Amino acid sequence: MIKAAVLGSPISHSLSPLLHSTAYAQMGLKASYEAIEVKADTLAQFMGERDETWTGFSLTMPLKEEAIAYADHVDDLAKRINSANTLYRKAGQWHATSTDVIGFTNALKMHNVEVKGHVVILGAGATARAAAAACDNSSTQITVINRSLARVQAMSDAVIESELSFLNWDDLSVLADADLVISTAPAGVTDSIDLPAKTSAPYFEALYKPWPTPASSLWASRGGSVIDGLDLLIHQALAQIAIFSGTAFDSALMYAKLREVGLAALK
């Protein structure tokens, strides 16, 4: 039996229990998956109190960096972005990985977005580092808009091939030159930012509630296509579901089902 949960704070709003439970039911697997409030700096204590019946955990903020320190084994991708959104038990030990990177990659592919040219990322936290790693290749230039120099080194570690630069929030004119914009900023931060008068670039917003955000609506009204955060949530969840279940499934059909239930829950 699969026994798993999503951990973070705040966590009551999470759609992950709905998505995971729906997927396991579709696969005919016995499973339980819940949302558990776990505050910053308490992940190790929480994990130490779990017994061996637990299969794994999905992690959201503020625990993605703590998971790196806790796990017995951390894969190279999670080390690179200093962020793990997945803990799973294997041979009695905890392994950490990130499915956020493949979540971004597969969502962009599904919307036929070719990652090249100038990519602008709003924010510089764990989700932003996953986005940067997903867009990192020899044909991209990545500009990160952030408020603090404290995250520059971690973001730099996440990017290997692309030309990387940093700007502050006073330099948003760069959006007019972007071939792709990804916002990982918290709710409300982008509500009043200056956007290009006209654009054809895709805008990927990591938020999914409330939706649409003011920025995504304005971006669409000015000609750009928009990808919502529900797509990111589903695609990263599909990778976690594969890890937790150890079972192959049709990802396209499962995506369609999870998108359906996710949209219904957000109405």
Q: Which pLDDT belongs to residue 42?
A: 98
> Residues 194-221: pLDDT tens digits?
889 899 999 999 999 889 999 999 999 9
Structure confidence at residue 129 (pLDDT): 97
Please report the pLDDT score of residue 48 as a whole number: 96
Please give the pLDDT value at position 210: 86
Please check the confidence at residue 171 and state whether its pLDDT lies above 90: no
**pLDDT of 149 over the 90 cut:** no
**Among residues 82, 81, 168, which one has the least CA distance to residue 123?**
168
Q: What is the pLDDT of residue 21?
A: 98
Which of 255, 200, 240, 257 has the alpha carbon at shortest distance from 88?
Answer: 240
Closest listed residue to residue 222, CA positions, set 154, 159, 175, 169? 175
Q: Nearest Cα to 184, choosing from 110, 121, 263? A: 121
- The per-residue pLDDT for 170 is 84
- When pLDDT is averaged across residues 173-191 and rounded to a whole number, the result is 94
Q: What is the mean pLDDT of the chain?
A: 96
Enter the pTM of the model. Answer: 0.95
Confidence bin at 192 (pLDDT 50/70/90)? confident
Supply the pLDDT for residue 68. 97
pLDDT digits (tens, 9 = 90+) for 7-64: 999 999 999 999 999 999 999 999 999 999 999 999 999 999 999 999 999 999 999 9
Amino acid, res. 175: L
Question: Which residue ranges form the domains of the chain, and what is each CATH number?
Answer: 2-98+231-266 (3.40.50.10860), 112-224 (3.40.50.720)
Q: pLDDT over 90 for what percent of the chain? A: 92
Torsion sign (Cα): 165, 168, 172, 173: negative
Strand pairing of 117-122 and 86-90?
unpaired
Once rounded to an integer, what is the mean pLDDT over residues 109-136?
97
Q: What is the largest CA-CA distance in the chain?
A: 55
